[in-house]
A and B are shown apart, each in its own frame.
Chain A
Amino acid sequence: MKNRKGTASSFRGFVKKEFLHIFRDRRSAAILFGMPIIQLLLFGYAIRNEINEVKIAVSDLSHDSLTRAIKSKLLSSGTFVLAGEPESPAAIAPLFAEGEIDEAIIFEPGFGVRLERDRRAEIQVITDGSDPNVSRIITGYTTAAVLDYLRQSSFPPEGKRGVVAEPLMMFNPSLKSVYLFVPGLMAMILMLVSALMTSISITREKESGTMEVLLVSSLKPVQIILGKVVPYFILSFVNVVSIVAIASVVFGVPCRGSYLLLLMESLLFIMTALSLGIFISTMTNSQQVAMMISLGGLLLPTILLSGFIFPVESMPLPLQVISNIIPARWYLEIVRAIMLKGAGISILWQETLVLVVMTGVLVAASVRKFKERLQ
């Protein structure tokens, strides 16, 4: 009499209950739906790596037509704004200290004459080292502008300098940081929603004692876990779609590869994150601990070690090794490759395989650890 309706309907009831939990709790609903949008807008608008309005001081000790021409070339780009023309290089340091300028350029005395005579002259570029990222970009930009001018004019510098590097940024020529942030943000949000929320929602049942009743019920452990996972799986997918849509509509981030592949890879990454969340919840019985593990053990590495903010290549070797076990690193490579380079599965199969293996291992470990009894 009891099994008349089979376990399918109990499973449906369970999933329905999970959705009720999510929508009842304003905080989790806010995290789920508000956060992706707020994060994207924050990263897209506020936190930018690209350079606008570099305040520059030019100390021209040469005062010839050439230095004037280079100067006007620099300023004409619109990126640099002239903030002062100190007569002596000694006046530059205080300007930096007061925050008046971001960069200073000094033309050596007799710049034009030396360049004509020796085919060699010196410009000193001074930047604010307390902001290394910006400094590097400004320096590169200045150098490029000067070389560009010299090449166009009658002073080809090749003679003395040999080969000159000409940077050309492929795929993201204007170095828009939002292009880089969108994939990282997707990784971060999926990690947060999937791993954090699942681990918390399972440990909450353990804390409140309802897990005891669920275990005693006719639901199988697999059904309990799946019931927990299905809602977050769906919601994470909604998040992926909305991030890609906002990124494309608001920030004009292109998706050069296949949308289908992007979504499939995202689904795979969601699976990885969900299995991580389940794994965490098998390790602890407390929501607090689950949250600490998820935030400290997942979210921070996802932000710091995945290449989201700091490139993996520039990390010290031990951290590079660690970054290999961070799922977000692989997902990030996949998303960047698909969105910006238009890569297909034939190029990305290795990264994809890494995620598949990670998911498999985590699921196997969770199933082994999930207990049908209490300890």
Chain B
Amino acid sequence: MGTAISLDGVEKSFGAVPALRNIALRVDEGELFGLIGADGAGKTTLIRILCTLLVADDGKAEVLGLDPVKEYRSIRSRIGYMPGTFSLYEDLSVEENLRFFATVFNTTVEENYELIRDIYSQLEPFRTRRAGKLSGGMKQKLALCCALVHRPDLLLLDEPTTGVDAVSRREFWEMLQRLKKQGITIVVSTPYMDEASLCDRVAFLQEGTLLAVDTPEGVTGLFTAPLFAVRAREKYRLLRELRGFEHALSAYAFGSSVHYADRRRSASAGEIRDHLEKRGLQDIVVEPVRPGIEDTFMALMKQGRGEGDD
């Protein structure tokens, strides 16, 4: 399998503000690759460099085997790009939007209808509705159709699921999986860590630096500390008490419970419960859990910031 994207030592700053620092990564052909990071981590900048809208200050980049600076025209005709805002014409209808994007990419909707059929079929009932009147999920599907209409080899999606409801998000990821089966390489950025596990491989970005690039399983393997899910009646106090515990590596709210990581090689649930009971907390439940992507990311972020514990 060939390489779709390869970056080496890519740097980019806006004035004095560094946006990307020494980025090196490879995306294989046919891969569904996730760029995970909080707002301002550099995801959008990285995607814009890949789709040749920005030029890196330094470092080597290859997209589809082409140089994004010199051969940007060839790259542009072979990629599908969906910017962070659903870049549709809100005053045009669903069908007009799709036909327009087909014509500017020198193709017709019919020519590549196969590729977009299962996405577009959901939009078909609203064919004549103006894009501005669609729900967030619908806009997202239409924008995806528009980015796919010329059958690109590489699909670059910048936060496609931001601001979209949970059901539409799940549907969207199912669509991406199907597109992947068609052989399209997909790079997708997202701030949602639960989406990381849906990718073949993920890259964690923080403040312009790559924290880790690995498969979702590989990423969770980076988390080695004993981890427990702890619940008690007063959640806020629980958090404070856990953070104050002498062996604590970290403690943070995770859904309805608190995830507590221990600094030592091994720790027991009983020991933690005893400590909390001593502190006067009630209804304490402590269970060991397997670290998820989010736990790993939190830990990596902490390391990235150079903090030991808090």
Contact = CB atoms under 8 A, between A and B. Distances in A.
Interface of A: 2-7, 9-10, 12-14, 17, 20-21, 24-25, 208-210, 212-219, 372-374
B87 A213 contact: yes
Contacts of B89: 17, 21, 208, 210
A216 B52 contact: yes
A4 B88 contact: no
B55 interface: yes
21 contacts: A5-B108, A9-B106, A10-B103, A14-B103, A14-B104, A17-B92, A17-B96, A24-B91, A208-B85, A208-B88, A209-B86, A210-B87, A210-B89, A212-B87, A215-B53, A217-B76, A217-B104, A218-B104, A218-B106, A219-B104, A373-B53
A105 to B, nearest CB: 63
The size class of the interface chain B forms with chain A is 20 to 34
B201 interface: no
A213 B147 CA distance: 8
B101 interface: yes
Contacts of A2: 77, 105-107, 150
B79 interface: yes
Residue of A210, A215, A216 with most chain B CB atoms under a 10 A cut-off: A216
A12 B150 CA distance: 17
A216 B91 contact: no
Which of A215, A217, A219, A372 counts the most B-chain CB atoms under 10 A from its CB? A217
A210 B104 contact: no
A14 B99 CA distance: 10
Interface in B63-89: 72, 76-77, 79, 81, 83-89
B100 interface: yes
A21 B86 CA distance: 18
Interface in B262-304: none
Contacts of B90: 208
B51 to A, nearest CB: 6
Contacts of B108: 5
Return the 8 tightest CB-CB contacts between A and B, nearest first. A13-B103, A209-B87, A209-B85, A217-B104, A24-B91, A210-B87, A209-B83, A212-B83
B54 interface: yes
B48 interface: yes
Contact of A25 (B76, B91, B100, B106): B91
Contact of B101 (A209, A213, A373, A374): A213
A216 B106 contact: no
Given A6-B106, A209-B84, A218-B77, 17 more contacts: A4-B106, A5-B106, A5-B108, A10-B105, A13-B103, A17-B96, A17-B100, A208-B89, A208-B90, A209-B85, A212-B53, A212-B83, A213-B83, A216-B79, A218-B76, A373-B52, A374-B53
A372 B105 CA distance: 16
Nearest to A210: B87
A202 B104 CA distance: 16
A218 to B, nearest CB: 5
Contacts of B83: 209, 212-213
A21 B79 CA distance: 27
Contact of A373 (B54, B77, B96, B99): B54
Contacts of A3: 106
A208 B107 CA distance: 23
B96 A20 contact: yes
Nearest to B48: A374
B92 A24 contact: yes
A interface secondary structure, majority: helix
Nearest to B73: A218
Contacts of A213: 81, 83, 87, 101, 146-147
Contacts of B76: 215-218
B136 to A, nearest CB: 15
B253 to A, nearest CB: 34
Contacts of A217: 76, 101, 104-105
B87 A13 contact: no
Contacts of A215: 53, 76
A2 B105 CA distance: 8
Contacts of A218: 76-77, 104-106
Contacts of A212: 53, 81, 83, 87
Contacts of A373: 52-55
B103 to A, nearest CB: 3
B304 to A, nearest CB: 27
Nearest to B68: A373
B54 A7 contact: no
A7 B53 contact: no
Given A17-B100, A374-B48, A7 B87 contact: no
B54 A374 contact: yes
Nearest to A213: B87
A19 to B, nearest CB: 11
B276 to A, nearest CB: 50
B103 A9 contact: yes
Contacts of B55: 373
B51 A216 contact: yes
Nearest to B147: A213
A213 B54 CA distance: 13
A7 B77 CA distance: 12
Contacts of A209: 83-87
B91 A210 contact: no
Nearest to B99: A13
Find the residue from B55, B84, B105, B106 having the highest chain A CB count within 10 A: B106
B77 to A, nearest CB: 5
Contacts of B88: 208, 210
B92 A13 contact: no
Nearest to B45: A374
